[in-house]
Amino acid sequence: MSIPIKKIFSADSRKLRNFYKEVSAINKLESSYESLSNEELKNQTTIFKERLLLGEDLMNIRTEAFALVREASKRILGMRHFDVQLIGGLVLSEGNISEMPTGEGKTLVASLPSYLHGLTGKGVHVITVNEYLAKRDKEQIGQIHEFLGLSVGLNLPMMDPNDKKAAYAADITYGLGAEFGFDYLRDNMAFEASMRVQRPFYFALVDEVDSVLIDEAKTPLIIAGKTDVHPNLSHLCAKLSKSFKGNHDYTFDLHTKSVSYTEEGIEKIERYFSVDNLYDLEHQTLYHYMIQSLRARVMFIKDVDYIVKEGKVMLIDMFTGRPMEGRTLSNGLHQAIEAKEGLVVTEENKTQASITIQNYFRMYPKIGGMTGTAKNEEKEFNELYSMEVTQIPTNKPVIRKDLDDVIFDTVDAKYFAVAEKVKEIHATGQPVLIGTTSILQSEKVADFLSKEKLQFELLNAKTIQQEISLISLAGQKNAITVATNMAGRGTDILLGEGVAELGGLFVLGTERHESRRIDNQLKGRSGRQGDPGITQFYISIEDDMLQRFAEEELDKLKKKIKADKKGIITQKSASEFVSRTQRICEGSMYGMREYNLKLDNILNEQRQTIYGIRDQLLFGEQIEETFIRFLRDLPYHEIERLFDQDAEVQLTDLALLSINLQKYMPTETIPTWEFVTEEAQIIEEIQPIFNEYLPKVNELLAKAVEKDQLRLYLIQVVDTHWLRHMESMERLKEGIGMRSYAQEDPMRQYEREALILFQQMSYLIERDIAIEIGKLVSHYNHQTKGEDL
Ligand code: ADP
Ligand code: MG
């Protein structure tokens, strides 16, 4: 295997030179692996694993592992990894990005690092952009891994938790990025450790990495409650529950603060809504709403727990008696109170958990990524994800011709010319793929093509399956296909018979995208694996991007330029203008993503803290100690909060403090203060009491049979406050955009206020937990006293 010198000294030459050395080492092993039997090949996996157990470094095994995978692939799939594919695999295995154009065989490249990391048994996640590709890749590449003795799993949406668990237990797991993220969120909503499906993160291999980490940057994964509820339901439920009598239709347990319907109550509800059995799964929502409306009625008292102000329900802080600005109860309870008061029911905020997909992937200690287009965004990958981009030489030289843009003075002139051009190409039988930047634009193109009486495939509103099968036929003779730039990503367009002689696939772009990267994706549809092909963009100076990002300059330009009869502008300045604008646009998009990511970082850290606390509650062995940890600082926080206020501390504040402390330590005698006392003095008085209380708690908790119940309850406390906090953070984020007019750095301000919100939430969690533990302690205390008598 000799490698052309020119390739070695291309852009990433220094990095590549070292990789080529390893490639020759892999090549040298080829003959010895060829001589092994299938059984002996498989045995290598066991040997590698043993070496790892003995402490050998994974990267030490890399050369042999790659040679082994290549040999297995030859036998199982009849495909021998090209040298450049080995290089792609080496880059990935180091947690970096391999840029390899479409058709270079990235799926096969992934077999190498996924096998290598799969040897550790810690779980490799191979991420694709759609389910179809996950299945396809798992079925194809999975054969190599299984042949070599590794287990392979497929993670699909809607799988039941046991199947998911099995999929995650595999050495290598394929699936859609979003689904992995959703599993993470669901795992962190679980109430039992055994319900969790994921293992600790280890290594993710992300296909089409730019799509996942850049294009999807703004879309968070959100787990939401049930949404399709008739807005009137809250009102109907309120009306009905108002007619219910206590102890007859429902019961209310003051101690546990719980409500429930009696048999009679249930019957009334069933009659009112004419349902057979309220406990049926399909009536879950109705049941939930009825319970919430009952809670709203008996547990929330107007002017005590809330006030009605300007048609809105405002909650009152039970510790300070102050209305809490912008606070709402979740899970439809707020709406139930609104309905009870006959107010307009607000829309429910149903987010239960959310994370952006990048933040999800940033939790992996190591990510490798592959795509046809990454170099343009190298800075972003570098700065935000510390990943380097290496352009891998193509297996065969690219002979595709990328022609200069044709620029028109009006949009209509452009589309008219597009249709003409398509007609002209089509007359020769050469297939054309027309790329658009939006579905709307696709339809516009379709209109113009129809006017020319051309037959074409329009890839709008198709299922992924249809999209893939249509796009894969785009290289057949006479084919005309209209698709958005991203449609059918990951699907190879093979040339039909005789198409190479016609010049291969003609890709006609109809608008520059906001990023050159996406334009390159479109171009990459043509000229795969050394095929011939042509690409060209027809654009107009009336195109969206230009209007949006260079309005003023455009006005000036319009006065200067001249167009011919067809509307074509020939001045160089026009194409320079377009390129410049695209760069401005890229910069602006990058700025936005960077800004959002910075904002996200803050919530991200908070999420990890909260999930950590949740884990302690869920998994904690010495659960008493975890409980105690929540209590340890609370009285001091309570005192601090009081004295940190801007306003002077009043006697009434101290009275309230006394009441609160009593709730935390129900078995102790808490002093009341008759004069405004100094902070240090109060601490001095409280400290010995608290120091006496804590060991009691520990002792009682150790005996308590309700421990698991308590554990669950406390998890709910954490969840509830976290949900509310997320809503507040969302509001803070919305507000921060407006504040940037003010002099202060909005990021700093966001950071500061986010911290305050988080501290408030932490305090509320501590407080609720302390009160709950206090109840249990006081319960046991009574019992013990009873025994003593
Ligand atoms: P990419 O994801 O880079 O666009 P794919 O992984 O979809 O490319 O592969 C494109 C095609 O090339 C597939 O049909 C695949 O089977 C084939 N292919 C990949 N690597 C090899 C190889 N080493 N030898 C033969 N065919 C290969
Ligand atoms: Mg691919």
Distance 14 CA to ligand 1 centre (A): 27
Confidence of residue 510 (pLDDT cuts 50, 70, 90): very high
**Minimum mean pLDDT range among 564-568, 712-716, 754-758:** 712-716
CA–CA separation, 504 and 776 (whole Å): 77
- The pLDDT of residue 439: 75
Distance 656 CA to ligand 1 centre (A): 71
- The pLDDT of residue 572: 86
The protein residue with its alpha carbon nearest to ligand 1, atom 17, reads: 105
Residue 10 pLDDT > 60 = no
Confidence of residue 226 (pLDDT cuts 50, 70, 90): very low
Cβ of 61 closer than 6 Å to ligand 1, yes or no, is no
Distance 528 CA to ligand 1 centre (A): 10
- The pLDDT of residue 742: 56
- Counting atoms of ligand 1 from 1, which one is nearest the CA of 492? 7
Is the dihedral angle over the CA atoms 520, 523, 525, 528 positive or is it negative?
A: negative
Q: What is the 3-state secondary structure (H, E, C) of 666-683?
A: CCCCCCCCCCCCCHHHHH
Q: Which two tokens stand for residue 129?
A: 């952009």
Among 221-235, 482-496, 771-785, top mean pLDDT goes to: 482-496
- Counting atoms of ligand 1 from 1, which one is nearest the CA of 73? 23
Instruction: Give the ligand whose atoms come closest to the C-alpha of residue 103.
Output: 1
Total-model pTM: 0.78
CA–CA separation, 769 and 318 (whole Å): 16
- The pLDDT of residue 2: 47
Distance 105 CA to ligand 2 centre (A): 7
The protein residue with its alpha carbon nearest to ligand 1, atom 25, reads: 79
37-40 long-range contacts (CB < 8 A, ≥24 apart) are: 38/75, 38/147
- The pLDDT of residue 592: 83
Cβ of 642 closer than 6 Å to ligand 1, yes or no, is no
**CA-based angle 581:584:588, to the nearest 5?**
140
The protein residue with its alpha carbon nearest to ligand 1, atom 16, reads: 105
Q: What is the 3-state secondary structure (H, E, C) of 51-110?
A: HHHCCCCHHHHHHHHHHHHHHHHHHHCCCCCCHHHHHHHHHHHCCCEEECCCCCCHHHHH
Confidence of residue 326 (pLDDT cuts 50, 70, 90): low
Contact 259, 333 (CB under 8 A): no
- The pLDDT of residue 789: 42
Q: Which two tokens stand for residue 739?
A: 């504040």
Residue 590 pLDDT > 60 = yes
Residue of 108, 206, 468, 493 best suited for mutating to test ligand 1, as the one with most atoms within 8 Å of CB: 108
**Minimum mean pLDDT range among 205-219, 231-245, 274-288, 655-669:** 274-288
Q: Which of 735 and 186 is assigned the larger pLDDT?
A: 186
- Counting atoms of ligand 1 from 1, which one is nearest the CA of 104? 3
Q: 10 Å Cβ neighbour count for 161?
A: 15
Per-residue pLDDT tens over the stretch 663-711: 889 888 998 888 888 888 999 999 999 999 988 888 887 777 777 788 8
* Strands 258-261 and 250-253, sheet pairing: antiparallel
Q: Where are the alpha helices (DSSP H) in 81-193?
A: 83-93, 106-118, 131-147, 161-169, 177-187
Cβ of 82 closer than 6 Å to ligand 1, yes or no, is yes
- Counting atoms of ligand 1 from 1, which one is nearest the CA of 85? 23
Residue of 75, 133, 492 best suited for mutating to test ligand 1, as the one with most atoms within 8 Å of CB: 492
Taking the CA atoms of residue 683, residue 684, residue 690 and residue 692 in that order, the dihedral angle to the nearest 10 degrees is 180
Nearest to 408, CA basis, from 530, 537, 524: 537
Look up residue 194 and give its DSSP letter: G
Q: Which residues surround ligand 2, an ion (CB under 5 A)?
A: 106, 490
Cβ of 492 closer than 6 Å to ligand 1, yes or no, is yes
The protein residue with its alpha carbon nearest to ligand 1, atom 5, reads: 105
Cβ of 507 closer than 6 Å to ligand 1, yes or no, is no
CA–CA separation, 299 and 256 (whole Å): 12
Per-residue pLDDT tens over the stretch 376-416: 899 999 988 889 999 999 999 999 999 999 999 999 999 99
- The pLDDT of residue 255: 57
> What is the average pLDDT value for the chain, to the nearest integer?
87
Report the pLDDT averaged over residues 53-68.
97
Cβ of 437 closer than 6 Å to ligand 1, yes or no, is no
Cβ of 516 closer than 6 Å to ligand 1, yes or no, is no
Distance 131 CA to ligand 1 centre (A): 19
Q: Which helix (H) or strand (E) holds 394?
A: none
Residue keyed to tokens 């891994």? 145
- The pLDDT of residue 630: 82
Share of the chain above pLDDT 70, in %: 92
Cβ of 322 closer than 6 Å to ligand 1, yes or no, is no
Residue type, 199: R
User: How many Cα atoms within 13 Å fall on the side-chain side of residue 625?
Assistant: 5
- Integer angstrom CA distances of residue 76 from 63, 83, 173, 449, 456: 20, 19, 20, 45, 39
Residue 277 pLDDT > 90 = no
The protein residue with its alpha carbon nearest to ligand 1, atom 18, reads: 105
Among 443-457, 620-634, 741-755, 762-776, top mean pLDDT goes to: 443-457
